[in-house]
Structure formats: structure tokens, C-alpha cells
Amino acid sequence: MIIQNPDYVDIVSNLILASKYLVIFTGAGISTESGLSDFRGKNGVWTRRDKGLPPARSKHFDEVQPNEGHNFMVQLQEMGLLKFLISQNVDNLHLKSGIQPERIAELHGNYTIMKCVECDTRYSRKEIGWERENHGRGFRMESPQDNQPFCPECHGRIINSVVNFNDPMPSKEMELARDHSMKCDLMIVIGSSLVVTPAANFPKIAKGKGAKLIIINIDSTPLDNLADIKLDVKAGDFLSNVLKRIKNIKEIEPI
């Protein structure tokens, strides 16, 4: 069912309140309202690249703040409604907004986090003493430099947690995402084109286990026909209205 009415607030609110195990799945589109470019939208980074065009002007991750869409998830977390968050984003905005680290699987890494390839211990760049000017970017497929910091726990190699093309997916995050996708009874996809696998398989897993599937994305996705509800709306305003509706309903519930 493809719904294009941005006033479709009550039904989504009621589905969230009725759910026992809500999982949200986000892509780059959740962060466009913070000033970042997406990747596969009409003016996305990869869309423009494939057309031979330079990237559209965008802010750096360090320059942006979480938006209403990010806050929506934090508020659901605080109300006990959000059980888990799966994200394809590396921009750190979910953690910056207040999502608890144990409640999120960042499938493609996080640009602020370094990790050990041996023991998988995670560090901020400051914690490990990583300076880009002296130590480089630290991507997995780059040759390590002799001066780069090593893991204090096991003396293993430290790399950037961001997953680039041809890098292996992080096993811990993939396992968490799969487990929660199989548990959920409602999955809401926000701002993802759902064309990048294996990440895009998790909504299908959830649906296959009987969960209701809501997709919120301006552009079409390959899973639109699988969704119970598809909303072609900007996420921030719509989710802000859903949050207000949920709070109103909870306020008038009998004690």
C-alpha cells in the first residue's frame, strides 16, 4: 500500500503504540534535513557520480546537528517504545542525539570511532591518540603506517570503523541487526533507498517473520510493494507530528 498523504499520522502513531517490539532502520535520508547529502536520492552523491557530475555542496559531519527525525527516535527510546535501531549511516548523529550505544547497530561504521581488527575493541580518535594529519585515515584496505597507534588491549591493528566498498561487514553489528529484525513486530524504515545489500535485507527479514513494515522515503525503493505502508514524505515534519500524537494519546490514557 503506497500512501502519499502526509496526514497519515494517526495510523502510524497507533501502530507504534500497539507494537511490542519496534525496530527502526535508517539511511542517509534521515540526515539530509541536518544539511548532509544522501547517496542514492535524485541529487545523491552516487547518483551525481554516475551522471559524471561533481558532488552537491554539503556540510561536513562535524558541522551538523541531529534533526527532528533523530529526536523522534530518542523520544521513543525514552518512552520505552523503541527497542532497537539499525542504521546505515556513519555520521554519528544518532549517538550524538542521545541514542544509547547498546541500542544501535551501525552497519557501515561511525566516522568518529576507530576499532581493533583483532579484538574489536572500539575507541574514539581522542582515546586512542589518532591524529588524521599524522596517522592518515586508517581505512582497512590502506597499508598501515608504522607510526599509527595500536590497540592497548591486544596490540592489534587499529582501523577506521567506516565500512568502505569491498570491506567486510562488521560481524557483531550484522548479528545484532539480524536478531532484532527477527524479533520485531513493527519495522519503520526511514530515509533509505534500500538498494545497498546486505543491509537492505533486514526489512525483508522482519517482514518475512510477520512484522508490519512502514517505509518513509521521498523516493521509491525496491521494497515499496512489500511494505504495509509507504509514505513519500519528508521525515522530519511527519515524525515530529507522529511524536506529538503519541504523547497526546499517552497523556489521555486512563491510569
Catalogue the active-site residues: 108
**Residue 60 grid coordinates:** 561536513
Neighbours of 146 (CB within 10 A): 4
DSSP string over the chain: -EE--TTTHHHHHHHHHH-SSEEEEE-GGGGGGGT---SSSTT-HHHHHHTTPPPPP---GGG----HHHHHHHHHHHTT-EEEEEE---S-HHHHHT--GGGEEETT--TTEEEETTT--EEEHHHHT--HHHH----TTSPPPTTS-B-TTT-PBEEE----TTPPPPHHHHHHHHHHHHH-SEEEEES--S-STTTTHHHHHHHHTT-EEEEE-SS--TTGGG-SEEE-S-HHHHHHHHHHHHHHHHHHS--
Distance CA 185, CA 167 (A): 31
Name residue 221's amino acid. Answer: T
